A and B are shown apart, each in its own frame.
Chain A
């Protein structure tokens, strides 16, 4: 093999090696950090895993928000209009969080309650997170919602 080919071969081997390690690392990290999405119905019917980090999307049920009078604890229902999930959260809610609006919450199911570590509401009033659209479509409530708007 002439030296130039040899060098090129080494470069390519180095690149393949580096990329291989990177892809392995990425895949491992992905498998550890993927959050699956579930609908309120799936949680109510027990399809969703307990004590595993997941996301749930739906609408905040009207009149369901209740606050602890002395701390930042808050609880509310996320609904797809078939089933509700009671969500507990401690902290500051996003500006666009309000009853009747779509939210996505991240956290774990424990004893039938969803303990959220993060509550996401989006910055555009007309924007519906794809997860929420999906949850409403699965419960057959999407057309009703769209009709309402």
Chain B
């Protein structure tokens, strides 16, 4: 009966979501404060109902209730408890439940932390989020119920969780990614609320900014974790495959990055308002598109599940409603927005406009490349695929241009910069970056590479430019201490995130140009050279894990006559699914990862073995972590907390001017 209770909670959440989507909005339209006031309690209730539902499904996994179809398909008696917890979101139905739970969680967060926002605005935001909730819960109830029973013939044991997902990476990657995807719904809801209430102004931007930034941070963490997980678990040491599903997370990330920067202009200068709203709509719609791509199986992808098309149709319909509805609202309302104020050619606005242009172009290119096979197929052009060469050819040069101009924005003043004195030290930064960058590849393994030199120049240039910005602020405030107190967390967050970009760029440039990589045939006793090391295949042995059997190789890595380390890559066969998995042995390091993985047995005791040295590969994720962390620092800015106090003050003339 327990599972039915979870189902019941889900139905209840559906009913609450309907109320949340309708009542506060109706209250706003008819000016009834009592109805507007229902928004927050309803959001809390919906969160509670979904939490109950989620807890019931988790309980089903923990107690091995194989009469639940979803549990039987994705768990097993021998699956360790922590993987049973994460198996809840290991497949379609459960990950949707997690999606809905996180959406409701953001709703709860908005109702708890929106005291600085007028009651009716918060109510509209929650109403819009309620509507999104209706869509997703309906999707679950009508096409993908996680509580469906297998009665009366419940199996004695489950089919087991996909072995790829039996990994600590899976425990964190989907929740983080969903926090980001779904968090963008808050930015979207704020944009919708601004359109509905006709309040597309700087104040709206200030309310929306911390939510956008924190969602972006989660999205950054989620993508980085996914990439890291692919690197060590998918088996082949790549960190990004331009897989449609990876692209589906990258596209909203690019748009959300543009949105963050555009919101800055809207908050500080009241400009770009219509554009900002469009970006907010686009960011969330693209998250939905990502969900559609993953869940419908329309594209060939490592993430694709065997799936029925009905689900795809549902999400596609939902997508059309969301995009169509919001663009219609936009068309009706945004026309009335006037853009006060102007800015000169040399101004921070110009640089941020350039940033937005580049990020949008990047997002559009990735989107085109991802959807192109679908478009060609739809017009009867046959099956085609677009591979990494396309994405690299487009993405890398555009990103290089974007990164090379990143240093200018923060160094430039708003509105109009009269003299370019602040740029002068950049000449030194440029010379240092070019000299050091040009020489750097000679210090690395492998041939001299122009791409590697360029990557180093860019990374160094960005770090030096950011340091210059920090230094100039310090001069402005007189002392480091005064600056630290006065400058605001927003700036610190930006500096950390920008340095994170430099770190990632450097890591990518090194890995892509200086990886030493060899696939070889080895048997016990064989020795292979790998960069400065010598790799000796010592032995193979068979092991038994809780739900798999394993062939484990022992390799010794020698540095000259000194034994550096012994590593043990494995080949596992999971008992329930009979799936083979590669467990690579990775020795992580600050300047390089040593990567050894077993391929397949070749007979005569020989194995195919992959040996790699991946220089600075961990910097890719380290840099991404810095970016996400920068976002978290930024939302601690005092002015977001001061919002309430300011709310009660009379509107200043400057603000008055921006109110439409």
Report A's interface with B, CB cutoff 8 A: 3-4, 7-8, 11, 14-15, 18-19, 22-23, 25-26, 29-30, 32-37, 55, 67, 69-72, 90-97, 104, 106, 122-131, 134
Contacts and interface: CB of A to CB of B under 8 A. Distances in A.
B384 A4 contact: no
A93 B384 CA distance: 23
Contact of A96 (B382, B520, B579, B599): B579
25 contacts: A19-B360, A19-B361, A22-B364, A25-B394, A26-B368, A26-B394, A29-B390, A29-B393, A29-B394, A30-B372, A33-B389, A37-B384, A37-B385, A67-B602, A71-B521, A90-B519, A93-B599, A95-B235, A95-B579, A95-B582, A96-B579, A122-B302, A124-B305, A129-B300, A130-B298
B608 A34 contact: no
A90 to B, nearest CB: 8
Given A22-B361, A35-B384, 17 more contacts: A4-B342, A23-B368, A26-B368, A30-B368, A30-B372, A32-B389, A33-B389, A33-B393, A37-B382, A72-B599, A72-B608, A92-B610, A95-B580, A122-B300, A123-B164, A124-B306, A131-B383
Contacts of A122: 300, 302, 304
B655 interface: no
B626 to A, nearest CB: 28
A72 to B, nearest CB: 5
Contacts of B297: 127
A69 B521 CA distance: 10
B202 interface: no
Given A22-B361, A72-B519, A96-B580, A30 B386 contact: yes
Contacts of B302: 122-123
A124 B304 contact: yes
A35 B364 CA distance: 21
Nearest to B299: A130
B162 interface: yes
Given A72-B608, A124-B306, A131-B300, A18 B361 contact: yes
B549 interface: no
Instruction: Among B385, B386, B394, find the residue whose CB has the most chain A CB atoms closer than 10 A.
Output: B385
A36 B381 CA distance: 10
B306 A32 contact: no
Nearest to B376: A34
Contacts of B657: none
B581 interface: yes
Given A36-B382, A67-B602, A96-B579, A18 B357 contact: yes
A30 B369 CA distance: 7
Contacts of A134: 383
A90 B302 CA distance: 22
Contacts of A71: 521
Contact of A35 (B387, B577, B582): B387
Nearest to A95: B580
Nearest to B388: A33
B109 interface: no
Contacts of B162: 123-124
Interface residues of B, number: 51
A22 B600 contact: no
A33 B390 contact: yes
Contacts of A93: 599-600, 608
Contacts of B387: 33, 35, 106
Contact of B577 (A3, A23, A125): A125
Contacts of B343: 7
A11 B608 CA distance: 57
A96 B164 CA distance: 12
Contacts of A55: 383, 385
Nearest to B385: A35
A130 B300 contact: yes
A22 B365 contact: yes
A95 B581 contact: yes
Interface in B606-636: 608, 610
Contacts of A90: 519
Contacts of A3: 342
Interface in B393-416: 393-394, 398
Leading 5 A-B pairs by shortest Cβ distance = A92-B599, A37-B383, A33-B390, A22-B361, A126-B306
Given A127-B304, A128-B306, A129-B300, A92 B384 contact: no
Given A36-B382, A37-B384, A72-B521, A22 B398 contact: yes
Nearest to B608: A92
A67 B306 CA distance: 31
B478 interface: no
Contacts of A29: 389-390, 393-394
B448 to A, nearest CB: 26
B357 A14 contact: yes
A92 B162 CA distance: 22
A8 B340 CA distance: 12
B342 A7 contact: yes
A32 B385 contact: no
A117 B236 CA distance: 15
A104 B383 CA distance: 12
Contacts of B368: 23, 26, 30
A15 B357 contact: yes
B472 to A, nearest CB: 28
A64 B68 CA distance: 41
Contacts of B603: 67, 69
Contacts of B353: 11, 14
Contacts of B357: 14-15, 18
A96 B491 CA distance: 48
A122 B303 CA distance: 9
A145 B74 CA distance: 25
B447 interface: no
Interface in B226-266: 235-236
Contact of B384 (A11, A19, A36, A127): A36
Nearest to A22: B361
A92 B600 contact: yes
Nearest to A29: B393
Contacts of A95: 235, 579-582
Interface string B343-363: 100000000010001101100
Contacts of B372: 30, 34
B460 to A, nearest CB: 27
A129 to B, nearest CB: 5
Contacts of A130: 298, 300, 383
A91 B602 CA distance: 12
B541 interface: no
